[in-house]
Amino acid sequence: MLCLYETDFYAWTQEQVSLLKARQWQQLDAANLIEEIETLGRKERQELRNRLALLLGHLLKWQFQPEGRSNSWLGTIREQRIQIKLLIEDSPSLKPYLPQAFLDAYELGLSLAIRETELGDPVFRKLVLTLWRKRSVLLFYPIRMGQLDSLKQPYSRFLPSSYYSGFP
pLDDT band at 13; cut points 50, 70, 90: very high
pLDDT band at 142; cut points 50, 70, 90: low
The reply to whether the predicted model has a pTM over 0.75 is: no
Q: Write out pLDDT tens, residues 30-50.
A: 999 999 999 988 999 999 999
Q: How confident is the model over 104-111, as a mean pLDDT?
A: 86
CA nearest neighbour of 63 among 72, 52, 74: 74
Reduced to 3 states (helix: H, G, I; strand: E, B; else coil), residue 1 is: coil
* Amino acid type, 159: L
What's the rounded Cα separation, in Å, for the pair 46 and 100? Answer: 11
What's the rounded Cα separation, in Å, for the pair 144 and 45? Answer: 32
What's the rounded Cα separation, in Å, for the pair 43 and 158? Answer: 22
Residue-level pLDDT at 127: 64
Residue-level pLDDT at 79: 92
Q: Which residues contact 158 (CB under 8 A, 6 or more apart)?
A: 78, 81, 82, 84, 85, 138, 139
CA nearest neighbour of 97 among 59, 55, 47: 47
Q: How far is CA 1 from CA 6, 8, 46, 106, in A?
A: 10, 14, 33, 45
CA nearest neighbour of 89 among 40, 162, 138: 162
Q: How far apart are the first and last CA of the chain?
A: 52
